[in-house]
Structure 1
């Protein structure tokens, strides 16, 4: 019996990511090691300044701070870069011991947290980021909590800033009290949100003025979106997106193929949740009723005329536009190193109006804010055919499955693997 390779090239395929400035001033796309930013207010390309040369490997997480003054990028090069959005200069550079899988910024903008693929969460204290030195300041990260040897897939702060929420590939969501001085560690666990049957892929919060504490929504490889009271860990509602989108089918070997929920995005009033699902050419919209604490189906917005399966979605709190990107890095299917396609949906706002079904629509390229200039900036050169993007979608799906779905081994197989572990070998 041959031992399987520890490093599968398929798992190195990184999905394209998108993040939107809270006031809709910037839209950022990460594809491979390339970070692209467009200024929507001035309709121009943003030039990034980083004397250290930027990222050297695939970016796995990007995030704007709540006030929009900071932007964080991190990934497989074990670097966490913190940017000041007024100048788009890298002001802090943090070296991680392992590859970074998730990032978050505290609501007050004082701390940046990131997680690695060994399940450790680190914090960086952002003291005064208005530094004049053009060379990025090297900051030291401090570990504050850990998931036991499980890849952390997403990291979020609660709406009131009291908790830091971490999700992993072992189906669990941990809610931890975020202390005033987190560099001393975050030791108090508030709750666990347990119920998913596959890896948790994404987290988001829904809330409004009447519900300032908000509720947590999560997406998973089990093809469901779940609604939680995160303070108690109570599961409030479950919605099976795969069944609604008619994506469930049998492959003849397994009972069921589940298409993972890959990303979530919510409206500012918490009434709508946009859901990106593997194999769904578009997005699904769910209504969230905060008073009854329930999720219900609103509609599926299909992208006609092309194969467009979003790998990441995002929206600003001040504009009713849902941004989507489809793409993957490190694909040897064309002369282009990284493939990306950006689309947008208008009317991503409250779902209470009677004319809701007519308010949301997919924008044509010429209708997208920023127009052709934005698309050229964020997509790069689109000289590849539709089949390349179909291949990209399948590659991302395979990579996510290989990375996050835990392999099941027989007793004999487990014993064989144990004998090959480095920590079991006797040094002579």
Structure 2
């Protein structure tokens, strides 16, 4: 149901109570956990199906990943405008239902023997498009449910659930594709989205939103307001640029990485799933650290140091050879460190963004940062595939990993690096 006539107050129903004592927050957390598990399973299932079963080459794998990421560029800004106009619960349950249906259809097509690359491209695009709306909606939903001084703890809990999904998703996806079949793996992802649908639809609190009974053209004006707000705020502008640099390079890294593991190191599908899943325990630790370290040492120093070390650790991967125990352990260590520090950066950045943004701008600011930060990922995936074909996976992986270091450099040269233990209040702007 669209917007109501009263503005969001920004005061959640929890007061000073523990978040876990409120049933609505628990339902959001359970639903988001299931949704993230479905998403992380599908992100591994589709590429591994293409590489191991359909024998996709580097260019085809890069194109498949680019198709799944293209909705970020195409739909993020529209998603932000819609999230600020609609109840987040409505958008989340609709996107969960859509992703369950898309992956369920892929499972049926696989059983019938007609799940080829064109079908994978279609499913990847559909899941990616719906995930754009879900991701913006759940971030805005948290702000409407909790007090601002609870955002770090709330984000820590939600990002911790995403970490749990990173633990189970890649391992489950890789194991199911390798041991059983792609249809079974796709069906498992569909089940997770269905569970998320059932949990989130039970959230009882009725959201109050700003009045938005406006003409369709007003949507584009609201998108412009979000872009302008982010462009004028130095911290948010830096977050956009640093995120864009990281995500572009990381997309290229992952395309080369998914080729490097089976073709250069000769890892099995199960071993690949376990290696990729190592980011999960690290991310879980990073979520716990994010609830403590910024308030103790300062948000700026935590952001810059964690980003520099976490991104730099990937430079060691191209030096590995063979599929022995030492190589696997080294990959597990790399992914664990990357997951820990990367999640520490993610949670801290999200707290900064949510704290400095007025309630009526939350959806549009989140979408603008997603648009700028993640919009170049399809190009990064294509570049990773091109470099792997041209230079080989080892050289392309090293080059792309070096590019990730531009992100901490941008943060170090910005006011983000000087943020202290407490964060500034939001700037009220017109047109919220």
TM-score, normalised to structure 2, is 0.27
Give the strand-richer structure, 1 or 2: 1
Structure with the higher fraction of residues in helix conformation: 2
Q: What's the TM-score, normalizing by structure 1? A: 0.27
Relative contact order, CA 8 A, sep 6+: which one is greater?
A: 2
